[in-house]
Structure 1
Amino acid sequence: MRVVSLVPSLTEAVAVTLPDALAGATDWCTHPAGLDVPRIGGTKNPDVPAILALRPDLVLANEEENREPDLAALRAAGIEVLVTEIRQLPQALRELDRVLRACGASSRPRWLDEAEAAWGRLPVPARRLRAVVPIWRRPWMVLGRDTFAGDLLSRLGVDNTYAHHSDRYPRVPLDELRAAEPDLVVLPDEPYRFTATDGPEAFETPSALVSGRHLTWYGPSLAEAPGVLGAALRGRAGER
């Protein structure tokens, strides 16, 4: 089986579970560290001829991260494309199992069981927090409705202020974000790389700098994500 992945999360899942199956990945596929496979461009602008030259049996994609015209071009060339849809944690666990079996796994990997167990034993939070979750600035954009990251935060006791917005990633003026008076501002390091000096200064509310990989990736990082995210979120919320 030769697999090309157009999704960083799925690349990591395949590389950890079935390393010999991975024949290519995007420039944004940074995990596992030291991954050495041919690169085929970005998630939004993959080099279709380069993918075809790798002669994959299967291409992995995601309905949000990849563009349908690129996937259609691959299908037209006779390549099988598996498209995932992941908006909630249970869906992620099911899709990961489906992807890995399609790539040749004969059984469910241990890390996937560990991830499910880690999220299944979360303690009930002493109190729920209300947060604004920017994902970009200039212009400011935040998590809106129906997002995987929003679902993870909710399971950790953090409710997204814009969870019921009509858009999934709305643009919201900074003044409005401040006026929302959340308990916490959650600032991931991707897709925009918020840092201690680029993001928190815009808010008087405590800001939690968190790993974007643990907040938005669905793969082996899910096993450690509850601990990593929980510590970052609760630590900063205690300042209010």
Structure 2
Amino acid sequence: MTGSRGAVTRVVSLVPSLTEAVAETLPGALVGATDWCTHPAGLDVARIGGTKNPDVDAVRRLAPDLVVANEEENREPDLAALRAAGVEVLVTEVRDVPGAFRELDRVLRACGTKGRPRWLDEAEAAWSDLPGPLASSGGPSRRTTAVVPVWRRPWMVLGRDTFAGDVLARLGVDHLYAAHAERYPRIPLEDLREADPDLVVLPDEPYRFTAEDGPEAFAGTPCALVSGRHLTWYGPSLAEAPRVIGEALRAARR
């Protein structure tokens, strides 16, 4: 597939998920990525700043045929500045797992892939045949309620219409703020406790929750420490996400 100016051979990614997808599928096409693009390991490309504060001039100097971005992770003023500099920008919108597969296919085709990569087929297969709802050890299989903080000071949680929320829902976990008017609402800690979830899901990004930083706020409620890459990234990690996230959720309920 070609961009408006011909074949795409130089790609800059402003999204860690898409960086991994492009690097794994089209080795050599990726010439720039953000400081937060940590996969694949050892990625040797120019670094152009963060997802929220990319160095537009640095991107322009790389002379990319295409910049891939996301409407949630990147800021519109930065994308507008790139377009004004004559750079072609493809912006993805991912709110659920099926949408992730559609957008990944679109991005990879725009970057020049000639067919679907094996990892994308494997990821779709992993999500097409999931086990039943999360069960506590020895207990009946049923859906689990959860709150899912993504930040503290102030506390922020998953709200409506989020990719991570859909990932959890497909694994049998219903987060309690899925109907909130905001996508990432600020909720006082006392309200989160009073919501009385079965489980608190604590990812290690964007806030890096750890065993020492997070669970102590929810004494008496099981807490699942999960990989943010598997919960929030849409790329090659999708192939193993059901297993990795599912294991963390079950371990928390034992």
**Superposition TM-score, scaled by structure 1 size:** 0.98
2:111 equivalent to 1:103: yes
AA at the equivalent of 1:137: R
Task: Give 1:236's aligned residue.
Answer: 252
AA at the equivalent of 1:110: R
Out of 74, 81, 84, the residue aligned to residue 89 of structure 2 is 81
Give 1:237 deviation, angstroms.
2.1
Task: Give 1:163's aligned residue.
Answer: 178
Distance in 2 separating the partners of 1:173 and 1:22: 42
Distance in 1 separating the partners of 2:213 and 2:85: 44
Q: Residues 151-180 of structure 1: CA distance to partner in whole angstroms, max 9, x if unpaired?
A: 000000000100000110000001000000
AA at the equivalent of 1:227: R
Task: Give 2:191's aligned residue.
Answer: 176
Task: Give 2:61's aligned residue.
Answer: 53
AA at the equivalent of 1:90: P
2:242 equivalent to 1:226: yes
Unaligned 5+ runs, structure 2: 1-8, 134-140
Give 1:19 deviation, angstroms.
1.5
Aligned length: 238
CA RMSD of aligned residues (A): 0.6
Distance in 1 separating the partners of 2:131 and 2:223: 23
Task: Give 1:214's aligned residue.
Answer: 230
Distance in 1 separating the partners of 2:77 and 2:209: 31
2:162 equivalent to 1:147: yes
2:55 equivalent to 1:38: no
AA at the equivalent of 1:209: L
Distance in 2 separating the partners of 1:185 and 1:71: 35
Distance in 2 separating the partners of 1:33 and 1:235: 27
Residue 19 of structure 1 aligns to a residue whose secondary structure is coil
